[in-house]
Amino acid sequence: MDAEHVEELLPGHAAGTLTRGEDEHVAAHLTGCGRCRAQAAQWRAIAAGTAALATAVGDPSQDLLARVLARLPAADADRAGAVTCSLPTAQAARTRPSGPPAASARARPTVGPVPVPVPVRPGRPRSVTPAGSASPRGLWQLVVRQVPLVGSGLWLAAPLVLAAGTGTALAAILSGEPGASALAALVLSLCAPAVAAVGVALVYGPETDPGLELALSTPTPPRLVLLARLALVVGYDLGLALLANALVAAVDPTLSFWPLVSLWLGPMAVLSAGSLLLSLVAGPTAAIAVALTVWSIQLLAFGPARDAGVVRALADIWELALTGPGAGLAAAGLAAAALWLAPRREPA
Amino acid sequence: MMTTMAGPGGDTRPATGEDDRLLARVAGGDRAALTALYERHHRPLFGYLATLLGDRSAAEEALQDTMLAVWNGAGRFEGRSRVSTWLFGIARRQALTRLRRRRPEAVDDGWLAAVADPRPGPEEQAVAHLEGERVAAAVARLSPVHREVLVLAFWQGLTQPELVEVLGVPVGTVKSRLSNARKALLRIMAEVG
């Protein structure tokens, strides 16, 4: 979008919800910009049409308040009792539409099919307190219920990539050629961080993941949902990488388990944390692109330009930031920033 | 025949101080306060729910459950947002519970973003002159997620931070959702002719 235009402010301008300064800025811009003026007129028409639709809905049944009040004694009893835990269920969030709504040109709110009557349980609004899910059992349930919510592609892609990497590494070792161990270690150190960074980028994506948005709309604190998914995906990728690591170390007697782990653990942590932060700020696609770009820096050391000064400098930065003790700090800082950015919600 | 509101939003928003007092009384178990809170907010809440759910009876059930959740959860209101914003957040959860059971058409914002060209085309220029009723009919045909953001922004007059809070998505998503709602609306109107 052209920065000179005020398109993003036009809905607020039509709704009358801008600050005075913003409103004046928009008004001044509109006097000289036909394009924004045309769009502003559209927004005014949309505002009027939306208000007309919502107004046409009318009032609810007159006895609705009485029905609410009639349910209060039971609700009051609930209030004193234990609060039930209603974490998002995979089945609910994954349910797909049974068909398109019955489109209606009439400006009445009967745009969808008549829903299946919802059984009304007396006085039991589904609610959960953060304390309800903060128990070890509640947290475990939360993590487990994220499993089907995370895209199935993610569960399949990680083992496939790591299996391919491990296979390549093992083939190199078994070939017995000089430098085979170094190549095996390199392949592993390339695969593990990339798999984790891509997986984590897809942890948060309300635009592409209706399941998550529904999960975030539950009373479970959004940060907790995000953390549960993060723990699940990182734990999964970490477990797979450790398994691959163990296999390679077992087959090659010159490679030890922990030194091998140290090659990929730092980059995995930093790239994953950075990827999560970027996915929150700029979306999953940008996060994956940036993470893989940073990840690919290490490949330059094997390319034709490996002796160039800039490549060496980049390799040094990579070493400094993504391996060793600095990596832990960098990953923790990036992850903390990501959690701070996670959507907040008023508990109800 | 529908009427078009001259000033969307503003006149449906009661003063906040009284809401805070009423909610505090509700937290103490005062039924009269719940009744008063209902009287002050049931129209905007019902309009929102019915527009989002596209169904009156489902909206009434959602409104009932919303008021019961208010009764049970009033003590947890911390005053960090307006009472009305908090109410819409609760109502939204009730609506989504119902939408989950009959999952609405999946909306692909990415696809929608590509639907309309950003330059005003002939149909975009035409929409500016359309009457409210025709636009309203098109709004009714939008996906729930787009109807919702339009109703909250234009009927309820929620500010951008309030939309972020009620919808629980980043500000960039609020902006793109509004923009995509407009594009989807233009598409529907172009199809209808």
Q: Is the pTM of this model over 0.80?
A: no
Q: What is the mean pLDDT of residues B54-66?
A: 90
Q: What pLDDT does residue A95 have?
A: 35
In A, minimum Cα distance to B141 occurs at A103
pLDDT tens digit sequence for A117-138: 333 333 333 333 333 445 677 7
Q: How many contacts does A have with B, using Cβ atoms within 8 A?
A: 305
Residues of B with Cβ-Cβ distance to A214 under 8 angstroms:
96, 100
How far does chain A reach from its first CA to its final CA, in angstroms? 38
* Residue from B40, B43, B61, B102 to probe the interface with A (highest A Cβ count within 10 Å): B102
Q: Judge whether A32 and A40 are in contact, CB under 8 Å.
A: no
Closest CA to A57 of B56, B76, B9, B12: B56
Give the closest-approach CA distance of B14 to chain A in angstroms. 16
Residues of B with Cβ-Cβ distance to A9 under 8 angstroms:
none
Residues of A with Cβ-Cβ distance to B178 under 8 angstroms:
11
Q: What pLDDT does residue A294 have?
A: 82
Unique residue bearing structure tokens 């300064």: A21
The CA radius of gyration of chain A, in Å to the nearest whole number, is: 27
ipTM of the assembly?
0.76
Using N-to-C axis directions, what is the helix angle for B83-101 and B56-73, rounded to 10°? 130
Tell me whether residues B50 and A79 touch, CB distance under 8 A. Answer: no
Considering only the beta carbons, identify the residue of A38, A105, A208 that sits closest to B137.
A105
The whole-angstrom separation of Cα B72 and Cα A128 is 11
The whole-angstrom separation of Cα A54 and Cα B99 is 19
Residue B104 contacts A, CB cutoff 8 Å: yes
Q: What is the mean pLDDT of residues B122-150?
A: 73
Residue A27, both tokens: 């008004």
In A, minimum Cα distance to B135 occurs at A49
The whole-angstrom separation of Cα B4 and Cα A46 is 11
Q: What pLDDT does residue A115 have?
A: 33
Classify A179 in phi/psi space as left (phi over 0), alpha (psi -120 to 50) or beta. Answer: left
Residues of B with Cβ-Cβ distance to A106 under 8 angstroms:
137, 140
Q: What pLDDT does residue B21 have?
A: 92
Average of per-residue pLDDT values in chain A: 72
Q: Cα-flanking dihedrals φ and ψ of residue A214, to 5°?
A: -65, -40
Q: What pLDDT does residue B42 have?
A: 93
Q: What pLDDT does residue A220 have?
A: 61
Helices (H) and strands (E) in chain B, counts: 10, 0
Q: What pLDDT does residue A73 have?
A: 64
Exposure string over A54-86, b if 16+ CB within 10 A, otherwise e: bbbbeebeeebbebbbebbeebeebbeeeeebb
Q: Residue A256 class from Cβ within 10 Å (0-12 exposed, 13-18 middle, 19+ buried)?
A: exposed
- Where helices occur in chain A by DSSP H, the ranges are 10-15, 20-32, 34-56, 64-70, 72-80, 90-94, 130-134, 136-146, 152-175, 180-201, 210-216, 222-251, 257-282, 284-300, 309-322, 325-341
Neighbouring residues of A286: CB distance < 8 A, sequence distance ≥ 6:
A278, A279
Closest CA to B191 of B128, B127, B133, B145: B127
Q: What pLDDT does residue A25 have?
A: 92
The DSSP call for residue A7 is G
Weakly modelled stretches of chain A, pLDDT under 50: 1-3, 75, 77-133, 206-208, 210, 213-214, 216-217, 345-348
Q: Cα-flanking dihedrals φ and ψ of residue A301, to 5°?
A: -65, -15
Q: What is the mean pLDDT of residues B23-42?
A: 92
Q: Residue B146 class from Cβ within 10 Å (0-12 exposed, 13-18 middle, 19+ buried)?
A: buried
pLDDT tens digit sequence for A215-263: 544 556 667 777 787 888 888 999 999 999 899 888 888 888 888 888 8
In A, minimum Cα distance to B158 occurs at A17
Q: What pLDDT does residue A84 have?
A: 34
Residue B133, both tokens: 């009723």
Q: What pLDDT does residue A205 have?
A: 55
From residue A129, give the alpha-carbon distance in Å to each of A134, A333, B24: 9, 28, 19
Q: What pLDDT does residue B46 have?
A: 92
Give the closest-approach CA distance of A198 to chain B in angstroms. 20
